[in-house]
């Protein structure tokens, strides 16, 4: 069964026809064409599909597309204007916080949710915030360093 | 995944009407239901999304000083609620143990209860607080103790067509405190090998007037440790008392051996976790003030 879904994605209103079986991740990737959010495990364990729904980090694979009406969704594509990097992305580049990169979109959005609510986190806060994001290249130390650096940049008035 | 219908009723009455259909299934957070559907473990004809029904999503104070948690309220919503965090910190602490932050932002306490897993993290602290559950169905509304509601792994007292509407936490007694601890090999994103919640209430003379110890993952359902509770009654809190209650709780436990741990290991964990949960109760402000 197909039903129309209207939601805001990266600041733009979208109305698309979704199958009842679509997850939010399917809606974003297949119906809207935003392929930055990745599917890893498909059951909420790996976190690579993490997006922000009304500001909260959510596994897009664990939400039906039909639960999206009226929600404000932010994906990795929505963090910075085309061609620019958000300070969290910039810090990951500078600290070598990406290896294969598959977990990176989810890590960035978990970090964004953390820093929006807690601009001055401890490394423990950072590790807790990304505990639901699995990096199989095991680059966690550099990822944590990058998020701490991004927090400092944002606190200092970086965009 | 087989196709299904999706409805999102705005009232409890409409939700109960929708649940009458064959193959209807309630959706709260979806963090268990959606993977089950995708893996073909559940055949569902109609998903009834409960998240637009105020009774299911709100956290409200009852007239008698109780606190009513909507069954579909997310674990994060519960943990961040000022009244939960202030008066029922063990419940807030438990809600923060369910999966990752992403999962806590969706998963509901009602779902954690209705899945009826022996390891359900939200349940032991709720039982310590003598929580009851409000249920609505075609035959009307009823309320029963959470402790009696969970019957076996995956089985509750919900009849077909019934919905868990809310969880009622009675007012907190003076000079009382609760705590929940679990053991997992990984600090986060893991399922309890064993868990223990404790609640103690002191009399004016600083002796234990009432106590509850509820164990997780060491029996088919979350279970009371009756001999540990008896041991505590009438005694003054002490490390030796808590260690002794822990040993009795290990005897009360009915663990199995599985991939997460052997029965013997779970019993040893139960002794340690029970003693530590009791010590955490004792360290809480209401108990410290009563002992001062």
**Domain containing A66 — which CATH number?**
3.10.20.30
| pTM across the whole model | 0.96
Query: Taking a C-beta distance cutoff of 8 angstroms, is the pair B216, B181 a contact?
Result: no
Task: Answer whether residue A159 shows pLDDT above 80.
Answer: no
Structural domain including B37 reads: 5-169
Domain count, chain A: 2
Task: Answer whether residue B45 shows pLDDT above 90.
Answer: yes
Task: Answer whether residue A41 shows pLDDT above 80.
Answer: yes
- Smallest Cβ–Cβ distance between A44 and the set B4, B31, B51 belongs to B31
* Chain B interface disruption, residue of A50, A54, A59, most B CBs within 10 A: A59
Does B148 share its domain with B261?
A: no
| CA-based nearest distance B100→chain A, Å | 5
Query: Which one of A36, A60, A78 terminates a domain?
Result: A78
Query: Which one of B135, B169, B203 terminates a domain?
Result: B169
Say how far apart CA B122 and CA B84 lie, in whole Å: 13
Does B141 share its domain with B31?
A: yes
Lowest mean per-residue pLDDT among A26-30, A138-142, B272-276:
A138-142
Using the beta-carbon criterion (under 8 Å), do A59 and B31 form an inter-chain contact? yes
Query: Which one of B138, B169, B200 terminates a domain?
Result: B169
Using the beta-carbon criterion (under 8 Å), do B47 and A113 form an inter-chain contact? no
Mean pLDDT of A7-18: 98
Does B32 share its domain with B111?
A: yes
Does A45 share its domain with A63?
A: yes
The pLDDT value recorded for residue B188 is 84
Does B43 share its domain with B181?
A: no
Please report, for residues A9, A37, A92, B75, B264, the alpha-carbon distance to residue A73 in angstroms, rounded to integers and kept in the order given: 5, 12, 23, 20, 48
What tens digit of pLDDT does each residue of B178-228 get? 999 999 998 888 899 999 999 999 999 999 999 999 999 999 999 999 999
The pLDDT value recorded for residue B101 is 97
Does B30 share its domain with B47?
A: yes
- ipTM value for the complex: 0.96
Task: Give phi and psi for B28, each to the nearest 5.
Answer: -110, -100
Does A10 share its domain with A67?
A: yes
The pLDDT value recorded for residue B224 is 98
Does A47 share its domain with A93?
A: no
Structural domain including A114 reads: 87-155
The pLDDT value recorded for residue A158 is 64
Q: Mean pLDDT across chain A, nearest whole number? A: 96
- Of chain B, the percentage scoring pLDDT greater than 90 comes to 94
Domain count, chain B: 2
Q: Give the residue on A whose Cα is nearest the Cα of B107.
A: A62
Residues of B in contact with A20 (CB under 8 A): 3-6, 47
Mean pLDDT of B78-103: 97
Task: Answer whether residue B83 shows pLDDT above 70.
Answer: yes
Query: Which one of A48, A78, A108 terminates a domain?
Result: A78
Residues of A in contact with B34 (CB under 8 A): 23, 61-64
Does A74 share its domain with A122?
A: no
Contact with chain B for residue A100, Cβ under 8 A: no
Lowest mean per-residue pLDDT among A147-151, B185-189, B230-234, B267-271:
B185-189
């Amino acid at each position: 069964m197909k039903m129309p879904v209207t939601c805001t994605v990266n600041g733009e209103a979208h109305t698309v026809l979704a199958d009842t079986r679509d997850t939010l991740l399917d809606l974003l990737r297949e119906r809207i064409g935003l392929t930055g959010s990745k599917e890893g495990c498909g059951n909420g364990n790996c976190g690579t599909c993490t997006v922000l729904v009304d500001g909260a980090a959510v596994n897009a694979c664990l939400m039906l597309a039909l639960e999206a009406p009226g929600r404000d969704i932010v994906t990795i594509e929505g963090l910075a204007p085309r061609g620019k990097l958000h300070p969290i992305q910039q810090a990951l580049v500078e600290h070598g916080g990406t290896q294969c990169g598959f977990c990176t979109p989810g890590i960035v959005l978990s970090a964004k949710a953390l820093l929006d609510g807690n601009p001055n986190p401890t490394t423990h806060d950072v590790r807790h915030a990304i505990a639901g994001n699995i990096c199989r290249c095991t680059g966690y130390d550099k990822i944590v360093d990058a998020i701490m650096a991004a927090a400092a940049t944002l606190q200092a008035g970086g965009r | 995944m087989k196709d299904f219908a999706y409805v999102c009723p705005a009232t409890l009455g409409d939700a109960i009407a929708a649940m009458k259909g064959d193959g209807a299934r309630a959706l709260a957070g979806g963090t268990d239901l959606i993977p089950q559907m995708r893996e073909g473990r559940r055949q569902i004809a109609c998903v009834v999304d409960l998240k637009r029904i105020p009774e299911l999503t709100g956290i409200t104070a009852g007239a008698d000083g109780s606190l009513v948690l909507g069954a579909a309220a997310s674990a994060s919503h519960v943990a961040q609620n000022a009244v939960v965090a202030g008066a029922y910190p063990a419940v807030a602490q438990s809600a923060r143990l369910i999966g990752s932050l992403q999962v806590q932002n969706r998963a509901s306490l009602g779902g954690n209860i209705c899945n009826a897993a022996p390891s359900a993290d939200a349940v032991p602290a709720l039982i310590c607080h003598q929580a009851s559950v409000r249920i609505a169905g075609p035959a009307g509304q009823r309320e029963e103790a959470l402790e009696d509601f969970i019957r076996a792994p995956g089985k509750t007292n919900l009849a077909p067509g019934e919905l868990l509407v809310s969880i009622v936490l009675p007012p907190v007694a003076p000079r009382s405190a609760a705590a929940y601890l679990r053991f997992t090999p990984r600090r986060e994103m893991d399922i309890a090998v064993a868990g223990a919640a404790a609640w103690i209430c002191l009399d004016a003379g600083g002796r234990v007037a009432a106590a509850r110890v509820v164990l997780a993952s060491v029996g088919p359902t979350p279970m009371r440790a009756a001999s540990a509770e008896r041991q505590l009654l009438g005694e003054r809190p002490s490390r030796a008392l808590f260690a002794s209650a822990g040993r009795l709780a290990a005897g009360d436990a009915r663990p199995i051996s599985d991939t997460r741990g052997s029965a013997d290991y779970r019993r040893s964990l139960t002794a340690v976790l029970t003693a530590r949960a009791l010590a955490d109760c004792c360290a809480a402000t209401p108990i410290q003030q009563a002992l001062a």
